[in-house]
Copies of this chain bind each other. A is one copy, B any other.
Amino acid sequence: MQIRDVPTRSFRSIFKWGAPDVFYDVDDRLRGFIRDTLQLPEERFSELFHPGLEQVPDLPAPDLPEDTLARLEAMVGAENVATDGYTRAEHCCGSAYLDLLRLRLGKVEGAPDAVVYPRTEDEVSAVVALCHDRTIALVPTGARSSVTRGLELPRGGISLDLSRHLNRVLELNETSHTARVQPGMGGPAYEQWLNARGYTCGHFPQSFEFSSVGGWVAARGAGQQSTHYGKIEDMVLGLRCATPRGMLATAPFPRAALGPDFTQMVVGSEGTLGVITEATLKVWPHRPKSVLPMTFMFRSFEDGVTTIRTLLQAGIGRPGVCRLSDPEETQAALTLDGFAGGSVDRTLQRIGYRPGSRSLMIAATEGDLAMATATAARAHAIAIKQGGLPLGPKPLRAWWKRRFHDPYLRDDLMDYGVMTDTLETAMTWSDLPQVWRGVREVIKSRPNTACLTHISHAYETGANLYFIVISAMDREHPTRDYREFHGRIVDAVVQHGGSLSHHHGVGRLFAPWYPQQVGEVAFEAYRGLKSALDPHGIMNPGAYGLGTG
């Protein structure tokens, strides 16, 4: 059973991923995979777990200092200040597993007292100044797809929603290949705007359809083609950030020697220092026809890792998509697309590409066509040398088609009482094997749990690992169960030398590990920065463990 009718103003209408009327099928294969892997009884597929169809109740009246609402309305227009319960509930969280769980359980926690939609940068500055004067907590929001609990206001305050008005490209500089973009602009709108002029933004996270430029920058995000285009921090040349101390504006120099990099202080700060009002981003010529698929099966994960590492270190151009599934994810993928167990599979197995060790690489070069062709040819030779078996373009094309779909299915799986979560980390090539083994070990120590892992972003010196965890919920104590399990996984990531995140960010979810990860002195530096720019501690209090919130 899949829910296809989402009542308006229901909890589900808040947590449902994506457009209200877009759904994807949980087909028999996926259902079978879940049932078999998780040892889930068949009735779980009809007894839905808190589907959240009930109406969101009213919230207590906003608790703000006297005349604050009037001042806000005077600043941005009454139509741009919302205090109704539903709008505030919508802004109480992002899309972390815990967020979805809480909403399913009918809990609205961390909601703002008011949602404000500024129309201009000056209005952003005015709201920040007012909140600074009155010590009101403030969280900038855009598409609200944070998966790190980056948007909550546990003690109330204001959610500054930038998506309604601050959602335009201000300037395209075709000489310098840069665009000045407002933070509330959504990914697809930005990309379409650029495509119409012959350019691409190069940044396509899985959340692309429901992500915004400001979120990309604030969370230090990465797109699925980042191996070619770089992460967002490689694309941001300059930005403007309205801090309680005033506007921090960095010039879009291609490089400079001007002391500490203030742009890279704001990138990833997740609203703790101020509100990003503009970013100057690199853009590239849009050449969709020169995406050249390149997929291989390897006999082992190690062979695939060596291939990607060698490719990146060879200095022969970088593919855009560059993914390597570990044996468990490879087997799941082959099962889900109906390949596993067929006659071709049996041939594969006979020549040494066996379930439990074989690993699938899905990649594509892109950019300048001649260059993409040359890179693909060289990559081909490297893969063959590592025992890679070329599989043709199909696997890449199939992946490409559904590359933004997984978050939709997550809602359906949660209906069935299935916990699905993702954790991602980065490390040097030499640390990668131990992180992969160590984290997998913890995840697989939970009975009947799938751990599908891939590399999806590669560099000369290292890569990321992206773990997808699928397990049956503890229906009685789903929150406690998740927290305990999640905590043990994060412990393992840190212990084995991985970063707390490669591109999701830290928010409140990873804040308990943050000081240890970066060290007390770096954390002190962050506090010093924060005190200088936000002396009253109003900006996203609680994120990164800074302040109380």
Chain A residues near B (Cβ < 8 Å): 173, 175-178, 219-222, 231, 233, 237, 243, 245-262, 264-270, 272-273, 282, 284-285, 309, 313-317, 367-368, 370-371, 374, 378, 426-431, 457, 459-464, 497, 499-506, 514, 517-522, 524-533, 544
Contact = CB atoms under 8 A, between A and B. Distances in A.
7 contacts: A176-B462, A250-B522, A253-B427, A256-B426, A257-B499, A258-B500, A259-B506
A373 B216 CA distance: 37
Contacts of A521: 243, 245-249, 533
B176 A248 contact: no
Contact of A257 (B259, B367, B459, B505): B505
Contacts of A315: 284-285, 367-368, 371
Contacts of A531: 528, 532
Nearest to A314: B368
A246 B519 CA distance: 10
A527 B184 CA distance: 31
A508 to B, nearest CB: 13
Q: What are the nearest 8 A-B pairs in CB distance? A: A528-B532, A254-B462, A254-B459, A220-B257, A256-B499, A176-B428, A261-B264, A175-B430
Nearest to A534: B528
A254 to B, nearest CB: 4
A254 B460 contact: yes
A237 B460 CA distance: 11
A128 B531 CA distance: 24
Contacts of A525: 248, 260, 262, 265, 529, 532-533
A314 B315 CA distance: 16
Contacts of A314: 368
B502 A255 contact: yes
A338 B258 CA distance: 39
A268 B262 contact: no
A250 B257 CA distance: 20
Nearest to A499: B256
B257 A221 contact: yes
A316 B368 contact: yes
A311 B472 CA distance: 54
Contacts of A177: 313, 429, 460-461
B371 A255 contact: no
Nearest to A433: B175
B428 A178 contact: yes
Contacts of A527: 532
Given A247-B519, A430-B176, A525-B265, A255 B237 contact: no
Contact of A429 (B176, B250, B265): B176
Contact of A178 (B461, B517, B518, B544): B461
A506 B463 contact: no
